[in-house]
Chains A and B, each alone.
Chain A
Amino acid sequence: MAGVQGGASNDGMTPANPLLRATALRKSYASPVLIDVDFDVRSGEVHALVGENGAGKSTLARIIAGLTAPESGSMTLDGEPYAPASKIEGERRGVRLVMQELNLIGNLTVAESIFLGELPHRCGWIDYQELNRKARNMLARVGLEGVEPGQLVKTLGVGQQQLVEIAAGLSKHCAVFILDEPTAALTAPEIELLFAQVNALKAAGVGIVYISHRMEEIQRISDRITVLRDGQIVATRPATEVTLNEIVNLMVGRELAQAIQRTPKPAGPVALRVNGLRRGTAVQDVSFEARRGEILGFAGLMGSGRTETMRAIFGADRPDAGEVYLHGAERPARIHSPWEAVRQGIALLTEDRKQQGLILAMPVRANVTLMCLSRLSRWLGWIERAREKAEAGRWVQALSIRCASPEQRVVELSGGNQQKVVVAKWLYRDCDILIFDEPTRGIDVGAKFEIYHWLIQLADQGKAVIVVSSELMELLVLCDRIAVMSAGRLAAVFARGEWTQEKIMAAALSGHLTHAKVSA
Chain B
Amino acid sequence: MTTRGTPAPTARRPAELREALADYLGMAIALAVLVLVFSLSTRHFFSAVTFKTIANQIPSALIVATGMTYILIIAEIDLSVGSVLGLCSAVTGVTLVQFHWPLWAALVSALVAGLACGAFNGLVSVQWRLPSFIVTLGMLEMARGGAHFVTQSQTQYIGSAIEPVAESGVFGLSLPFLLAVLIVAAAQVVLSRTVFGRYLVAIGTNEEAVRLAGIDPRKIKLAVFVLTGLLVAIAAVIDTSRFQSANPNAGTGFELQAIAAVVIGGTSLMGGRGSVISTFFGVLIIAVLNSGLAAVGAKDETKRLVTGAVIVAAVVVDHYRHRLGRARTS
Contact = CB atoms under 8 A, between A and B. Distances in A.
Q: Do A and B come from one complex?
A: yes
Interface of A: 314, 316, 337-339, 341-343, 348, 350, 355-362, 366, 370-371, 373-374, 377, 380-383, 385-386, 389-394, 397-398, 405-407, 409, 412, 425, 427-430
A187 B71 CA distance: 51
Contact of B215 (A370, A380, A428): A370
A482 B202 CA distance: 36
Interface residues of B, number: 36
B8 A392 contact: yes
Nearest to A315: B214
Interface string B211-254: 11111100000000000000000000000000000000000000
B168 interface: no
Contacts of B4: 390, 394
A358 B11 contact: no
A390 B7 contact: yes
A343 B16 CA distance: 33
Interface stretch (B47-55, B154-162, B190-198, B305-313): B190-198
B9 interface: yes
B209 interface: yes
A393 B6 contact: yes
Contact of B198 (A337, A370, A405): A370
A214 B52 CA distance: 79
B1 A430 contact: yes
B318 to A, nearest CB: 15
A343 B208 CA distance: 18
Nearest to B215: A339
Given A362-B201, A405-B11, A412-B330, A355 B206 contact: yes
A405 B11 CA distance: 8
A243 B68 CA distance: 66
A359 B2 contact: no
A316 to B, nearest CB: 6
Given A380-B194, A405-B11, A412-B330, A361 B214 contact: no
Interface string B5-46: 111111101011000000000000000000000000000000
The 10 closest A-B pairs by CB, nearest first: A342-B214, A394-B5, A390-B8, A381-B195, A393-B8, A381-B194, A373-B195, A389-B8, A339-B214, A359-B206
Given A377-B195, A382-B193, 4 more contacts: A341-B214, A359-B202, A359-B209, A398-B5
A373 B265 CA distance: 28
B294 interface: no
Contact of B214 (A358, A371, A391): A371
Contacts of A360: 205-206
B202 A366 contact: yes
A383 B194 contact: yes
Contacts of B198: 366, 370, 373, 383
B212 A370 contact: no
B210 interface: yes
Given A377-B195, A390-B5, A394-B6, A407 B213 contact: no
A391 B6 CA distance: 9
B282 interface: no
A361 B5 contact: no
B329 interface: yes
A159 to B, nearest CB: 32
B86 interface: no
A357 B212 contact: yes
Given A366-B202, A370-B202, A412-B329, A394 B214 contact: no
Contacts, number: 107
A311 B198 CA distance: 26
Contacts of B59: none
A155 to B, nearest CB: 30
Contacts of B206: 355, 358-360
B272 interface: yes
A370 B220 CA distance: 14
A355 B210 CA distance: 10
Contacts of B9: 389, 393, 405-406
A359 B194 contact: no
11 contacts: A355-B209, A359-B206, A359-B210, A370-B210, A370-B213, A371-B215, A381-B194, A382-B193, A390-B7, A405-B11, A407-B15
Contact of A339 (B2, B16, B196, B216): B216
Contacts of A359: 202, 205-206, 209-210
A358 B2 contact: no
B272 A316 contact: no
Contact of B208 (A348, A355, A382): A355
Nearest to A349: B212
Nearest to B201: A362
A407 B13 contact: yes
B194 A356 contact: no
A349 to B, nearest CB: 9
Interface string B113-145: 000000000000000000000000000000000
Contacts of A316: 211-212
Interface in B172-211: 193-196, 198-199, 201-202, 205-206, 208-211
A355 B195 CA distance: 22
A381 B205 contact: no
A314 B212 CA distance: 9
B205 A382 contact: no
A398 B4 CA distance: 12
A389 B16 CA distance: 15
Given A407-B13, A407-B16, A377 B212 contact: no
B196 A381 contact: yes
A371 B212 CA distance: 10
A382 B214 contact: no
A414 to B, nearest CB: 13
A430 B2 contact: yes
Contacts of A358: 206, 209
A397 B193 contact: no
A397 B5 contact: yes
B215 A382 contact: no
Contact of B8 (A337, A373, A382, A386): A386
B205 A362 contact: yes
A337 B205 contact: no
Contacts of B272: 361
A348 B212 CA distance: 8
